[in-house]
Structure 1
Amino acid sequence: MASLIKHGHLNTVAVVNPINRCPTVVVMAAEVDRFDAEFVSLFAIARQRGLHHMVVKKALDAAGIEAALDPTVIGATSYRRSDISKARMSTAQKGTPDDGLCSFQSRPET
């Protein structure tokens, strides 16, 4: 979270600590909710799909969906939820050559 704050992806506010009366920098719950509504981590997608994170990453890369935040700077791979929702995920059927793999494909424009 520190790198998200440092690089301006999470806004902070200074509040007075009620115990020691010292100013403390915090991220408000509404700000965390805003961030969570806009971004999703690679690991969260993989966990939700029940797949290994590298399988999901390979499928996202193949579909041309790029990480929204630089993983080398942030320390985690995150995608915009809107980018993920524009793609549909299909899992290979058992017995096919791609058994166990998944792919994200661009949805046709309507």
Structure 2
Amino acid sequence: MADETTAPDTDLDAEPEWILKFSIKGGDTVEWIAAKSAVFGALEELNKRECETGPVGWVFLPQGAINMSEVRYVSIHPRPAEAEPKPKPARRARFIWC
């Protein structure tokens, strides 16, 4: 059965946005933009799951699912400042681990 983790609901309006980037075999990338605490929380949870249970199969993000066996590496970095208005960062993130 899948195990669910929900990132804490904090005041994310004041937090800078970060990008969690999954680089997939074959050159594709999947990026998830959220508040800094949500991105770091997701990365920490991913690391914790791998340490406790071994390789993670699938990770479900708000925009889709990622087969972790196809991921070459995961990176995070601050979202660059842009001149145009940005959408609000995600207030909550639900990750389902399989």
Under a length normalisation based on structure 2, what TM-score does the superposition of the two structures give? 0.26
More strand as a share of residues: 2
More helix as a share of residues: 1
Structure showing greater relative contact order (alpha-carbon pairs closer than 8 Å, 6 or more residues apart): 2
Which of the two has higher C-alpha Rg?
A: 1
